[in-house]
């Protein structure tokens, strides 16, 4: 292990020992951000595009895409069908 890494770990351990509650909450927040962060971004992008819990929103980008590319038939396994599924599952 390099000296820089060793020094950094020592600083982290000293901080954790001196401020256990602050370190714990920061650690939990960092882990939750790594786990949930991407899902929040996906939810926002789906919602803004018009893929929502109840289906494709009228007048949205998703509605335009569906009408131009697919009409009434959306092929299984298409990007559009995946976005519809994610919008329904994630409740965007």
* Domain residue ranges in the chain: 3-90
Six-digit token string for 13? 């351990």
Q: Which two tokens stand for residue 92?
A: 């965007």
Please say whether the beta carbons of 43 and 92 come within 8 A: yes
- Mind listing the pLDDT tens digit of every residue in the chain (92 residues)? 688 888 888 888 888 888 887 777 777 777 777 776 777 788 888 899 999 888 899 999 999 999 999 888 888 889 999 898 888 887 65
Cα–Cα distance measured from residue 60 to residue 71, given in angstroms and rounded to the nearest whole number = 14
Q: So what's the pLDDT on residue 1?
A: 60
Q: C-alpha 35: how far from its chain's center?
A: 8
């Amino acid at each position: 292990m390099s000296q820089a890494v060793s020094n950094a770990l020592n600083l982290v351990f000293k901080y954790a020992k001196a401020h256990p509650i602050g370190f714990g909450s920061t650690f939990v927040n960092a882990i939750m951000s790594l786990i949930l962060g991407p899902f929040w971004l996906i939810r926002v992008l789906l919602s803004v595009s018009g893929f929502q819990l109840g289906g494709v929103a009228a007048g949205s980008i998703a509605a335009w895409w569906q009408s131009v590319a697919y009409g009434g038939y959306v092929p299984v396994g298409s990007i559009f069908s995946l976005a519809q599924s994610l919008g329904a599952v994630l409740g965007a």
